[in-house]
C-alpha cells in the first residue's frame, strides 16, 4: 500500500481517478488533480513547501518531486509527464510538458507550455525554458523548437498513454 502521510496536520489531496502505485510515497501539502498517476517508487514530498499538480499528470517510476523550505514550491500544470528517475525540485512546469528520464529541474526554473526537457538534462536554477522548445544537456540549453509532430506525437501521446496504463491496474485499492 502506498505511503500517504500528513505532515504538520496537512494531508495530501487527490482528484478523481488517480492511480497511486503501492510503493509510492506522497506526504504533506500535495494537491493533485484528476486522472493523475504516481508510479512505483515515485516520491512526492510536500513537507517543506507545497506541491500543486494539475490534471492528467504522470510521475513515473523513481521520480522525485520536492521543494525548498519556505522558498521554492512546485507547481505542475496539466498533461505533464515526468519520466523515470527525474528530479523536480522547487520549480514551475506549465501545461503539455515532457520531462525526460533522469532529467533534473532545479529551484525557480520555469518550464513553459509545450516543451520537452531531454533525458539526462539539468535545467539550472532560475532558467526559463520558453514555450515550444526542446532543451537538453548539462547545463540544459535550447536544442530546437517543437513542431506539431513532437507536441502531439510525444508530449500528449505519453501523457495519455500513462492514463491508459493506470487503467490496467484493476485493484481498486490503488485508485484514489
Full residue range of the structural domain in which residue 75 is found: 3-171
User: Does the pLDDT value for residue 172 go beyond 60?
Assistant: no
Q: CATH number, domain at 9?
A: 2.160.10.10
User: Does the pLDDT value for residue 116 go beyond 90?
Assistant: yes
Residue 164 in domain: yes
Q: Which residue has the cell 500513462?
A: 162
Contact status, residue 89 vs residue 104, Cβ threshold 8 Å: yes
Residue 118 in domain: yes
Distances (CA, A) of 170 to 25, 98, 149, 164, 175: 20, 26, 32, 12, 9
pLDDT tens digit string along 36-68? 999 999 999 999 999 999 999 999 999 999 999
pLDDT tens digit string along 128-154? 999 999 999 999 999 999 987 878 788
Domain tally, the chain = 1
Residue 155 in domain: yes
Nearest to 127 by CA among 100, 105, 156: 105
pLDDT tens digit string along 4-37? 999 999 999 999 999 999 999 999 999 999 999 9
Q: Is 175 helix (H, G, I), strand (E, B) or coil?
A: strand
Residue 64 in domain: yes
Residue 80 in domain: yes
Residue 74 in domain: yes
Q: How far apart are CA 77 and CA 94, in angstroms?
A: 5
Q: How far apart are CA 145 and CA 74, in angstroms?
A: 25
Better-predicted residue by pLDDT, 171 or 63: 63
Residue 176 in domain: no
Amino acid at each position: 500500500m502506498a505511503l500517504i502521510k500528513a505532515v504538520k496536520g496537512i494531508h495530501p489531496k487527490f482528484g478523481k481517478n488517480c492511480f497511486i502505485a503501492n510503493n509510492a510515497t506522497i506526504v504533506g501539502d500535495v494537491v493533485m488533480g484528476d486522472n493523475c498517476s504516481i508510479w512505483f517508487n515515485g516520491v512526492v514530498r510536500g513537507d517543506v513547501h507545497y506541491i500543486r499538480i494539475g490534471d492528467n499528470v504522470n510521475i513515473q517510476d523513481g521520480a522525485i518531486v520536492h521543494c525548498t523550505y519556505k522558498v521554492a514550491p512546485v507547481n505542475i500544470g496539466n498533461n505533464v509527464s515526468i519520466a523515470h528517475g527525474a528530479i523536480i525540485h522547487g520549480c514551475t512546469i506549465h501545461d503539455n510538458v515532457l520531462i525526460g528520464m533522469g532529467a533534473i529541474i532545479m529551484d525557480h526554473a520555469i518550464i513553459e507550455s509545450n516543451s520537452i526537457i531531454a533525458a539526462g538534462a539539468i535545467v539550472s536554477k532560475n532558467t526559463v525554458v520558453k514555450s515550444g522548445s526542446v532543451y537538453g544537456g548539462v547545463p540544459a540549453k535550447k536544442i530546437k523548437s517543437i513542431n506539431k509532430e513532437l507536441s502531439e506525437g510525444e508530449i500528449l501521446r505519453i501523457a495519455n498513454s500513462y492514463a491508459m496504463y493506470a487503467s490496467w491496474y484493476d485493484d481498486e485499492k490503488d485508485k484514489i
